[in-house]
Amino acid sequence: MPWSSAVADDALRRYLRQQAELGGAEVILPRPLAPREAGRALVVAPARPVAPAGSAGAPAPVAQAGAPAPRGDRRLEFAPGAAPAQPEAPAAATGAPKARWRDGAPPIPGPGLTITTPAPDLLAADAIGALPTLDAVAARVAGCRACGLCEGRTQSVPGEGNPTARLMLVGEGPGATEDQTGRPFVGQAGQLLDRILESIECPRETVFIANIVKCRPPQNRKPLPDEMQACLPFLRRQIALVRPTVLLALGSTAAEGLLGVKKSLGELRLKVHRYDGIPLVVTYHPAALLRNPNWKKPTWDDVRIARQLLDG
Ligand code: URA
Ligand code: URA
């Protein structure tokens, strides 16, 4: 049954509102869609399950005409210029519907740095490197007093997610909302991150998210080298326990902590580094994207590189 143009208009409006929320100044629709045209270009996807806690403001689901009505868990991506325009071949003709993130995804870049982490001191009775589970790591973090950041914390933020995640994200450190809730990336930057993850079909609940430091630095300042060094054994243990297929470093502090080098994002992006053998991609921090929307397009490229690496 054809979708009415009223329904399509509504979908288009919600789509545009979602784009605006995402800093949509740079969102480019190929041209204004006449209602009749919009009726061909857009259909409304079925209602989605409730978003996980912390991902407020779920964007309106929109799918393309020609696709079967239920599109599973797909959600409209928000890459600049990725407005729904090209009708896809019906899934029946092509097998599984082609994920939209693949359209125009950059090729996987060449190798970058190769990092081998120091072997943990497993002989020490309290070795972080010997903690048996992610919960045990979190419990140890909660009582940690290895650096001054513990003085100011409301709650530590050890990280959370799928213990067998194939994609693991690393940020800088908790902000105010994270310090209050004990959960990573639940503030404004976290909501943007949720959408980025949706757009590459790796919803938040499928990944593991951690930070370089587990306690909030005062005034959200960058963690000091001593603080990073004090906290890194926890992240190393988390990575060893999750053993993800791909690591994604969000921002230069995450890259510095993981790779042990102080370099600009310009030098670190668009390479596939290796962290204990695990491919590691570096991109902008979502909070930086909120300040500078020009970095959204390069971020979109980076996350699609990481996404392709997941496929092996
Ligand atoms: N798409 C965007 O437009 N920006 C991002 O940061 C990620 C995906
Ligand atoms: N920024 C980060 O780097 N980490 C968080 O957990 C939240 C915001």
How would DSSP label each residue in 112-177? Answer: EEEE-PPPP-TTSTT-GGG--SHHHHHHHHHT--SSGGGGG-SS----EE-TT-SEEEEES---HH
HSE (CB half, 13 Å, CA atoms) of 9? 6
Q: CB of 289 closer than 6 A to ligand 1?
A: yes
The helix (H) or strand (E) run that includes residue 282 is strand 278-283
Encoded tokens for 33: 């869609």
pLDDT for 243 = 98
pLDDT for 95 = 62
pLDDT for 159 = 98
pLDDT for 184 = 98
pLDDT for 50 = 37
Q: CB of 299 closer than 6 A to ligand 1?
A: yes
Distance CA 192, CA 89 (A): 30
Nearest ligand 2 atom, CA 250: 3
pLDDT for 23 = 39
Distance CA 101, CA 29 (A): 17
Q: CB of 300 closer than 6 A to ligand 1?
A: yes
Strands 208-211 and 111-115: what pairing?
unpaired
pLDDT for 278 = 98
Helices (H), 45-112: 91-94
Distance CA 84, CA 62 (A): 9
Mean pLDDT by groups of 10 residues along the chain of 312 residues: 46 48 36 34 33 39 35 38 42 64 96 91 82 98 98 98 98 98 97 98 98 98 98 97 98 98 97 98 98 97 98 84
Q: Which of 265, 303, 304, 307 to mutate for ligand 1's pocket (most ligand atoms within 8 Å of CB)?
A: 303
Residue nearest to atom 8 of ligand 1 (CA): 300
pLDDT for 120 = 77
Residue with token string 């510095």: 256
pLDDT for 119 = 82
Residue nearest to atom 1 of ligand 1 (CA): 79
The helix-helix angle for 134-142 and 225-242 (nearest 10°) equals 160
HEC profile of 202-264: CCHHHCEEEECCCCCCHHHCCCCHHHHHHHHHHHHHHHHHHCCCEEEEECHHHHHHHHCCCCC
Q: φ, ψ for residue 205 (rounded to 5)?
A: -70, -10
pLDDT for 131 = 95
Distance CA 7, CA 69 (A): 14
Q: CB of 196 closer than 6 A to ligand 1?
A: yes
Q: Per the confidence metrics, is the pTM higher than 0.75?
A: no
Nearest ligand 2 atom, CA 286: 1
283 DSSP β-pair partners: 250
Q: Are 12 and 31 in contact (CB under 8 A)?
A: no
Q: CB of 211 closer than 6 A to ligand 2?
A: yes
pLDDT for 9 = 52
Which ligand is nearest the CA of 155, by number?
2
**Quick one: CA torsion of 75, 210, 243, 162, rounded to 10 degrees?**
-50
**Environment class of 240 (CB within 10 Å of its CB; exposed 0-12, middle 13-18, buried 19+):** middle
pLDDT for 141 = 98
pLDDT for 70 = 35
Distance CA 71, CA 42 (A): 13
Q: CB of 161 closer than 6 A to ligand 2?
A: no
Encoded tokens for 84: 């729904």
Distance CA 153, CA 134 (A): 20
